[in-house]
Amino acid sequence: MAGASLLTLLDDIAAILDDVALMTKVAAKKSVAMADDVSVMTKVAAQKTAGVLGDDLALNAQQVAGVRAEREIPVVWAVAKGSFINKLILVPLALLISAFAPWAVTPLLMVGGAFLCFEGCEKLAHQFLHSPHEAEAQHESHVLANANPALDLVAFEKDKIKGAVRTDFILSAEIIAITLGTVATAAFAQQVAVLSGIAIIMTVGVYGLVAGIVKLDDLGLWLSGKASAAAQGLGRAIVAAAPWLMKGLSVAGTAAMFLVGGGILVHGVPLLHHAVEAAGGAAGAWPVGALWQVLVPNLLNALVGLVAGALVLAVVTLGQRLRR
């Protein structure tokens, strides 16, 4: 009798262990599936925010470029810390909006898109409405001021850092808004994981690259002083390429403003979205249709961004003149 009871007890324990193993297996599969979903959503969000990142990278590299060589890395680090603080504010705010006012996601995205287009037009206006001599004179005065030993370096660096952190806040808000639009229908835990992941990855990536870019010329000069002819040649090439890299980043960032901002505005207006999709579909019938099917929607998005940015710039300029 006791033996039978023991066998029954062992059977019950075995059955419970089987149930636990099955539930653990199901939970593990669900965890893997959730991790896969988070990974996919993070990848999609990263692709959608890539355009803003190009501008973020170029702007931050430009902001730090005027600082003395020995202070470049400390200033980049200070701006990176400010960027993390920005994201500590923006990520919870984005999650609150998603939880309590999901209807506000699209309007906020469109406001951010219009702002990006405005910034792009402002850059173009500054480029084409100011003569090269004015830009060169401004650059020379900045260099002379930076070389002046009487200059208050602490105040100068603080101004640089504040300006860079303000710029980062605006661009970070756009990155978080685009990411939120990507995961708006996902579960709350997935939203937290994707938004946090994007915030960390983008901040580390952008400021790591900024630190590398501002130190490129130093690397080139260091290599130029080596005994090896190959190292010297590489060093000279790096020094020569560094200004062109900055210009390239600036151009790519400006183009990205119109592409990303225009794309957001187009997606927010169903009529425009369907028209752009129809134009892309029609372009597929042209020679090399696959290429045109990608190019035409992007060009139309950029055109919408350019027009929207020009309108916002005109309104802002008019408002500034009326206030004077």
Q: Please determine, for residue 27, whether its predicted confidence score (pLDDT) is greater than 50.
A: no
On whether the pTM is more than 0.85, the answer is: no
Q: Tell me: the pLDDT tens digits for 166-219?
A: 878 877 887 887 788 778 777 888 888 888 888 888 888 888 888 888 788 788
Is 303 part of a structural domain of the chain? yes
Is 268 part of a structural domain of the chain? yes
Is 27 part of a structural domain of the chain? no
Instruction: Report the candidate in 56, 42, 41 with the shortest Cα–Cα distance to residue 198.
Output: 42
Tokens representing 244 are 């062109």
Contact 65, 243 (CB under 8 A): no
Is 10 part of a structural domain of the chain? no
Is 34 part of a structural domain of the chain? no
Q: How many helices (H) and strands (E) does the chain have?
A: 10, 0
Mean pLDDT (the chain, rounded): 77
Is 12 part of a structural domain of the chain? no
- Residue 256 belongs to what domain range? 47-323
What is the number of alpha carbons within 13 Å of residue 165 lying toward its C-beta?
19
Is 290 part of a structural domain of the chain? yes
- Overall domain count for the chain: 1
Is 204 part of a structural domain of the chain? yes
